[in-house]
Amino acid sequence: MADLQWRPRYELGIPLIDEQHKRIFFLLSELMECVAGKRDRAQVSQVLANVMRQTREHFHTEETLMVQMGFPALEGHQEQHKKLMHGLHGLEVRFQEGDASMAMLVTTFLGGWLRHHINEGDRAYAEFLKAREAKSA
Ligand SMILES: [Fe+2]
Ligand SMILES: [Fe+2]
């Protein structure tokens, strides 16, 4: 089963971002419990919609922050978000079309992506922000 726990090693030191990451992990484990507990389709669909909305909002928060701080690798990072949303959307559509197994696939797909992306992608802008703050202090 996928590891859907937020871990201290994912901490970036930006409270709003860390809270959003925790929230996505939480919603993913909720989704997994719903699927494993064989809850009805409407409930699974609801939690899946929450996962999608929270992820979309989180990317928007990060991209706004990166624009504000003049992060040089913004475009590449945005591209990673865009590709992920595209993949997630594809799974959501297949779920809506009747393939219930797609909900579980969302947990492994997004869970795995997040574990990698937070430390490989998000950490870069977090370090950039901290370095900038240290300079202006
Ligand atoms: Fe993130
Ligand atoms: Fe990101």
Q: Where are the domains of the chain?
A: 15-136
Distance between Cα 6 and ligand 2 center (Å): 15
Which pLDDT score is estimated for 1? 60
Mean pLDDT over 109-126 rounds to 97
Distance in angstroms between the alpha carbons of the first and the last residue of the chain: 45
Q: Looking at domain 15-136, does it have CATH number 3.30.1360.20? A: no
**Is the pLDDT assigned to residue 135 strictly greater than 90?**
no
CA-CA distance, 98 to 127, in Å (whole number)? 43
Residue pair 54/17 in contact by the 8 Å Cβ criterion:
no
pTM: 0.95
Distance between Cα 98 and ligand 2 center (Å): 30
Q: How far is CA 21 from the centre of its chain?
A: 6
Distance between Cα 112 and ligand 1 center (Å): 13
Which pLDDT score is estimated for 20? 98
Mean pLDDT over 72-97 rounds to 97
Mean pLDDT over 128-135 rounds to 91
| Integer Rg of the chain from CA | 16
